[in-house]
Amino acid sequence: MTEKLEFYKCNICGNFVEIVIAGQGELVCCGQPMEKVSAKTQDEEMRGEKHVPVVSKNGEELEVRVGAVPHPMEDEHYIQFIEVNSPDKRYVKRKYLFPHEEPVLKYKCHCDKVEARELCNIHGLWTSGETDARKQF
């Protein structure tokens, strides 16, 4: 059984899917079961690489940056998307990114708490965990 907002990856072709509506059954791609992708956390941070989304708020504007030190956005190594979810999973905001763009997502947010996630094309999925969005930065 899948759960809303889980990610799955095909280890053959690289398809990456997010569950929008949870359901029964097994996700299959290229004739094989897809692998559930778990987000990494700050505890798994690599030396010299910063992937954990950093959430800040100024008034009603929420800002998510990838890494305390900006993540590289090169042709070969970049952030593919940033996503923010409310804890009840009712609200989702996603921004797709391309090489040479700044890895930042900004939008108006009225949630008290959020979880930010991002996908690095080389190092995978990372999460901020649940963050108190009421704090003003």
Q: Could you tell me if residue 122 is inside a domain?
A: yes
pLDDT band at 136 (very low <50, low <70, confident <90, very high): low
Q: Could you tell me if residue 1 is inside a domain?
A: no
Q: What was the pLDDT predicted at 133?
A: 72
Average pLDDT (111-127) is 93
Q: What is the CATH number of the domain that holds 111?
A: 2.60.40.730
Q: What was the pLDDT predicted at 135?
A: 63
Mean pLDDT across the chain, nearest whole number? 90
Q: Could you tell me if residue 71 is inside a domain?
A: yes
Average pLDDT (93-115) is 93
Q: What was the pLDDT predicted at 111?
A: 82
Residue 27 and residue 53 in one domain: no
The boundaries of the domain holding residue 114 are: 42-132
pLDDT at 43 over 70: no
**44-92 tens-digit pLDDT:** 666 656 899 999 988 889 999 998 888 999 999 999 999 999 989 999 9
Q: What was the pLDDT predicted at 44?
A: 63
Residue 13 and residue 48 in one domain: no
pLDDT at 9 over 90: yes
Q: Could you tell me if residue 76 is inside a domain?
A: yes
Strand runs labelled E in the chain: 7-9, 16-18, 28-29, 32-33, 35-37, 53-58, 61-66, 79-85, 92-96, 104-108, 113-120, 124-132
Residue 26 and residue 77 in one domain: no
- The sign of the torsion formed by the CA atoms of 133, 36, 79, 107 equals negative
Domain count, the chain: 2
Residue 55 and residue 115 in one domain: yes
Q: What was the pLDDT predicted at 17?
A: 97
